[in-house]
């Protein structure tokens, strides 16, 4: 599980650009945390798929 937090308001879509309200009141581009978490999950999945099974173990 991954948890993200921000002290400032954030807006955006799951598959789009995210913006964060800066202290000056200007909306600035911000890293899409949803895409970052999905990318990390996929990296773990790919690494697990690449590992070759050793022996005949269940499952």
Give residue 59's pLDDT. 59
Contact in structure between 32 and 13 (CB atoms under 8 Å): no
Sheet of 18-21: strand order equals 10-12, 18-21, 27-30
Question: Scanning the structure block, which residue is given the tokens 């993200």?
Answer: 4
Give residue 56's pLDDT.
72
The pLDDT score that the predictor gives to residue 58 is: 63
So what's the pLDDT on residue 1? Answer: 67
Residues of the chain with pLDDT under 70: 1-2, 57-59
CA dist 20 and 6 (Å) reads: 9
Q: What is the per-residue pLDDT for 26?
A: 97
In this prediction, residue 50 carries a pLDDT of 84
pLDDT for the residue 14: 84
């Amino acid at each position: 599980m991954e948890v993200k937090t921000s002290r400032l308001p954030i807006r955006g879509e799951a598959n789009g650009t995210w913006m964060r309200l800066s202290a000056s009141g200007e909306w600035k581009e911000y890293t899409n945390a949803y895409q970052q978490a999905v990318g990390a999950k996929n990296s773990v999945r790919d690494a697990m798929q690449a590992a070759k099974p050793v022996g005949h173990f269940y499952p």
